[in-house]
Structures are given as C-alpha cells and as structure tokens.
Structure 1
Amino acid sequence: MDGTTTGGAGQPAPDEFPHQFPHEFPHEALLYDSTDELVAMAAPFLREGLERGEAAVVAARPDSAAALREALDDDPRLLVVDRHEVYRPRTPEAITTFRRLAARCTAAGAPRVRVLGEVDYGLTEREWLEWERYESVINVALSGWQLWGVCAFDTQRLPGPVVESAGRTHGWLATPDGHLPSPGFTDPASYLRALPVPDEPLERTPPLLAAADVADFIGLRHTVGAALATVAAPADLVEDFLLAVDEMTSNAVRHGVPPVGLRLWTAPDRIVCTISDGGPGWDDPFAGYGPAHGADLSRGGMGLWLARQLCDHVDISGGRHHPGDGGVGVRLTTLLP
C-alpha cells in the first residue's frame, strides 16, 4: 500500500474525501525530513493522477522536482514548473495562477489537476505570516476548481512555526498510512481572523504626510504622488503603490464613514501608507484574494484585490475584521529594492 493513493485502514481514498472537509478542495500537508521520504509519498500521488488521465504538476525546490521526475521515469506528461513562477511574493498571484492552470487543463480534457507544491516561505516572520494566510485562504479560494493540492513541508529546513502551522491550514495530512484528517485543522475564516496584524515600527514615528479628514481623494492623489517623487525607487513600483493608495482612499471616501485619514511613511527599504475611516469595516477575511464579483469586473469591487497585487503586504485592522478601538484601517506596504 502506498502512502497517497489509497486510504489507510478506515481512511477515505482520494475520491471519497468528505465534501464538507475541509472546503471541497482536497488540500493536504506532506511533512517530510528527507528527499526519499518526499518521493515515497508524493510520487504515487502524481503517478496515480497520470494513470487516471489527470494533469500532474510539480512546483517544488529543484532537488525535490528532479527526484520526483526521476521516480516517474521522466514521464513527459508530468509538468515541472519553477516554483518561484507560481509562488510569487504577492500571494494572490499564486491563486490566480492555479485557477488559470485548472481552467487550461480541464479545457484540454483533464478531469482534475494534481499539484505537488513547495512554497518558499522566506526568511522573516513577516513572510511566513503572508504564506500562512495564503495556505488558509486557498481552502476557500480554490474551492470549486478541479484541483487537488499536496503541499510539501521540509521539517529539516523550515522554521518550527511554519511546520506547526501546516496542520492548522490543511484539512488533510498525506502520511505513509494514507490520507488522514488533520486534527489541528481550523476553519479558515476563524483562523484568518485570529492571525495577528504585524507590528510596523514606522507607525510610531512622524509621518512624511498626514491628512486627517480626506474628502477630495483625487487632489490627495497628487499630494501623495508629490511626496513619493523623492523616493529612490523604480518609477513603476512607485506608480503601483500610488494606484493602490488611490484605490483604498477612494473606497474609504465612497463607502466608509468619515473621517477618512491617511498617513504616509518612507524608509530606505519600504514605503508604508495607512488609510482609515470610522466605519465598522467588513467581516470577510478572504476579501481581496479575488475580485469581489468574480469574473464580472464591470461590477467593481476590485480595490482591495488590486491592492494585494500591487503591494507586498496589505494588512487590515480594526472594524469587525480585527476589533480594536473603533474604525477600520488598511495598511499598504511596498518593499524597495
């Protein structure tokens, strides 16, 4: 009996996953401490998919990908992609990539796409948190798409908090004994609401620009643009950040509760802007990981989605999302090269 193609005693086989657990998207964590262990569990998962006419994709470290390719006898049907082309620093891009992959493969006749993914979690706690959010979000964001994801976690290389989070963000565990429900799995909405808003030291310093009661967001855009003109950064990066600020400010003015405030800081390594209003915020922890109205972009609702793609970090505080002292705030951060 292999580790991923059939259930262990009393455990469900792949096509018997209960639809209510976790969210109609089979999302498994595979914890391994050697390449041999990874191959032993992941290769049968990929091979079975190919035998069933499904697409099989590997987006992993080069050594992991090479070992899996060899284990599958260099099967030309196996698609090996550069993981950094899939798992880009701005996590909504990965969601869009997987949705497009599923649409393309199913249009070509594959009933489902199996993915063995291995995220580069980065070196800082801030990066770890961003990917932790992603792993929880995709339980819902990829529901309804013909995808089955197995995420590999190298327990020898990854920091302890990242490995520990795997059981909470994945509904299933891929083990030598089969597919096992993850006992630590947490409902994604609850999990996302409980994640901390990272501290930003710049917020404790005088801002470069502050506006306490914004009404004319178009005029403010010019003011912010003038303030950013002195930043030593690529013009397209600054323009993207300015567009994100514009989107969030206009949303606050149009849909929030006055007063709308803005504060802007710059540092040698980043630009930070907070936009706040007095409203109750929103209670959707998945907001901004896709257009609010799906493919119908004419209906609007793209502001936060655009901001998550244009900035390296987008943090929401206050309101019902993260209760605080009242009001809601969005913090935009772009890292400078």
Structure 2
Amino acid sequence: MNWTATGGVGHPPPGGFPHDALIYDSVEDLVGTVTPFLTDGLAAGDAAVVAVRPGTAAVLREVLDDDPRVLVLDETTTYGRRTPAAITAFRRLAREHAPDDSHRLRVVGEIDFGPTERDWLEWDRYEAVINEALRGFDLWGVCLYDTRQLPGAVVDAARHTHRQLVTPTSRTPSPQFVDPARYLRSLPVPDEPLERTPPRFAASEVADFIGLRHAVATELAGLTAPADLIEDFLLAIDEMTSNAVRHGLPPVGLRLWTAPDRVVCTITDGGPGWDDPFAGYGPAHGDDLSRGGMGLWLARQLCDYVDIRGGDHHEGDGGISVRLTIRLP
C-alpha cells in the first residue's frame, strides 16, 4: 500500500485527524503495515512518533534500523494513567513536531487498556473522543490492536471508534464506525455497588462550601493513602461541587463512600445538566484558561473515573449527578 500518495487513501488532506486502527495477529502484519506508514511519511516530509509498549517498540526499532528521525516514546509516559493527559500529550506533540502547514505528524500508538472492564471503558471513550479532540491538529494516527493480547471486547470497540482500518495491503473505511457523539452517548454508565449502601458522609442542600470541604477532608484523613492522592481527590470534589452551585440548580447534594480499594463521591444538583459527550476532555474555552471552564477537565485528570448521569438513578430525582472515583493503592 502506498502511504505517500496525495489525496485518496494514501495521504489524507491536512486539517482533519485521520484515525486508523491496525487489528493484527502477527508480527508480519504489524511490520508490513507500520513500516511503510512511517517510512513513506518521512519520505514525504512528515514527522514520525512511535508510542507503544516496549516489546512492540523493539520490533519497530529493528525493522527501522533505529532511524533517528523516528521519535520513540515511552507508552506509559505519553498516555499517562488518565485519558485527558493523553489528549494533551498528543496535542503537544503535534505542536512541537508537525513540520509545517503542508505536512503532519504520523503517530503509531498502542494503549495499555488495563486489566478490568472499567478500565477498558475509559480508553474506549478516549478512542471515540479523540476523533473530535484532535481535529484541527496535524496528526495522522494508527492505533495498534494485537488480537493475541487484547480482550475481544476491546478489539470489537476499535471498529466502532476508528474511521479507517488498515492492513499491509489496504486502508478502508470501517463498516462498523459510529459517529463519536452518538457512540459516547450509547456507552453505559457502570454500576457502582457502593451507591446502594449507606454513605460514609452525606450533605444535602449544600450552602457552606468551606465547611463542606473541611467535613469531607476530615472523613478522608483517616484513609491509608498517599496524601497527594487525597488532595487531588479533594480538589476534584471542590471543582464539581463549585460547578453544581454556580451552574446548576438547588438542591446541591454530596455523598461519599470509602472501600479498601476505592473512594467514591457523587455530587448532584437539580439543574438540567448538559448533553455534550466531549465535555471535560479539554478546557471548555480551549487554550484561554483565563476564561475558566476547567472544572470537569481537572476532575477527569485528577480522578480515575468520572461518570455523568442525568438525575440520580437510585432515588429517581431529576437533575444531574457526577460521580468521581479514585483507586487506592
């Protein structure tokens, strides 16, 4: 397959974000697809970045003869633990390494989807979100899905979140691709069993914001957890509670649960909420941070899981509910 042709399937025009998936089951398919993608791009004046697992990186380094023009990055550092950090990282790479307006940065990426279905869901959301979040950045991504290592559900989701599927001989539209906004709205909000138990702490009709923070901090002080983890969680709670007070409608409520492996906090208000499935994956007002709009974005960076629901599905109330979860080491 020719990855250097102008137009057509070989070289998409600048301005969009070509987001391809390589679903493979052999080293031969990996090498046969990724090598020409990178080398043809370099020949055409594009830049190249590889952010993959160590074993995959070793294979690609060898077939590329350690070409110094290919920037090989540590996958865990690039993607980070949480999805907004990965989006920020790839935006930064595009700004720093895209050669000029007529060329782009080609990226080969490989996600560590984690060990649980809950982790898979977070990265599945990410793969849908970046179709929009990276639009306008001069990137062309090929995401690697090794069927020998990944769960079938993760591989199946790749067909829904990538517009194009690639092989050593073809680049074709994925027949199962779903519009990202529609796909994100279709994903379930996972059940949290703790919410069916009495909370460790609860507050309704929140009015004393400072007093609430002190009360929550007191509840968390006795946990066996790193201090910075607890501080991050408190900041996320502050941001979401403040958002509910400023932008929602009363009553604003908060419930907190703790378990040996996680802490969960749900903030509710009586407002209509919002229907933007991309909310919180970047600052609401772009690069102009002086305009605010960073609360949900910060929460997604500070918490392992952020789930948004219309209303409190356990009590049948109206309004909106934001559930924040951190895992304890």
Q: TM-score range by the shorter chain?
A: over 0.9
Contact 1:12/1:179, CA 8 A, preserved across alignment: no
| 1:192 alignment partner in structure 2 | 184
Q: Which amino acid aligns with 1:230?
A: G
How do 1:179-328 and structure 2 match up within 5 A? 179-318=171-310, 326-328=318-320
Contact kept in structure 2, 1:258 and 1:278, CA below 8 Å: yes
Match of 1:84 in 2: 76
Aligned partner of 1:164 in structure 2 is 156
1:118-197 equivalent positions in 2, closer than 5 A? 118-197=110-189
Contact 2:4–2:11 under 8 Å retained in 1: no
How far the C-alpha of 1:309 sits from its partner, in A, is 0.5
Matched, 1:114 2:98: no
| Cα deviation code 1:50-70 (max 9, x no counterpart) | 112211111112221111122
Q: Among residues 328, 331, 334, which one is paired with 2:326 in the alignment?
A: 334
Letter aligned with residue 42 of structure 2: L
Q: Secondary structure at the match of 2:195?
A: helix
Q: Would the aligned equivalents of 1:6 and 1:179 in 2 still touch at CA under 8 Å?
A: no
Residue 181 of structure 1 deviates from its aligned partner by 0.7
What's the counterpart of residue 14 of structure 1? 10
1:72 to 64, 70, 75: 64
Decide whether the 8 Å contact of 2:4 with 2:44 is kept in 1.
no
| 1:261-317 deviation per Cα after TM superposition (whole angstroms, max 9, x unaligned) | 100011111111000011111011000000000111111100000000111110001
What is the TM-score normalised by the length of structure 1? 0.92
Alpha carbon RMSD of aligned pairs, Å? Answer: 1.9
Q: Secondary structure at the match of 1:224?
A: helix
What SS is found at the alignment partner of 1:326?
A: strand
Give the secondary-structure state (helix, strand or coil) at the position aligned to 2:98: helix
- 8 Å CA contact 1:5–1:13 kept in 2: the answer is no
2:40 equivalent in structure 1: 48
Distance 1:16 1:157 in 2: 30
Deviation at 1:13, TM superposition (A): 2.6
Contact 1:217 1:253 in 2 (8 A): no
Moved more, 214-223 or 149-158: 214-223
Letter in 2 for 1:80: V
**Which shows bigger deviation, 300-309 or 50-59?**
50-59
Residue 88 of structure 2: which of 96, 99, 115 is its match?
96
Task: Report the secondary structure of 1:314's partner residue.
Answer: strand
Q: Tell me, what secondary structure is at the counterpart of 1:332?
A: strand
For the 8 Å contact 1:102–1:146, the answer to whether it is kept is yes
Partner AA of 2:271 in structure 1: G
1:122: Cα distance to partner?
0.9
Which letter maps to 1:15? H
Q: After the TM superposition, which of the residue ranges 103-112 and 236-245 deviates more from structure 2?
A: 103-112
Structure 1 distance, partners of 2:152, 2:163, is 19
The 1:5–1:173 alpha-carbon spacing in structure 2 relative to 1, beyond 3 Å, is: farther
Residues 102-145 of structure 1 show CA distances to partners (whole Å, capped at 9, x for unaligned) of 11113789931101111011110000000000000000000000
Q: Distance in 1 between matches of 2:25 and 2:243?
A: 47
Partner of 2:50: 58
Partners of 1:15 and 1:59 lie apart in 2 by 21
Query: Contact (CA 8 Å) 1:6, 1:178: kept in 2 or not?
Result: no
Output one character per residue of 1:18-48: Cα deviation in whole Å (capped at 9) or x when no partner. x8xxx92100010010112101111100111
CA distance in 2, matches of 1:231, 1:62: 35
TM-superposed deviation, 1:5:
5.1
Q: Which runs of 5+ in 1 are unaligned?
A: none
Q: Distance in 2 between matches of 1:69 and 1:214?
A: 56
Letter in 2 for 1:223: A
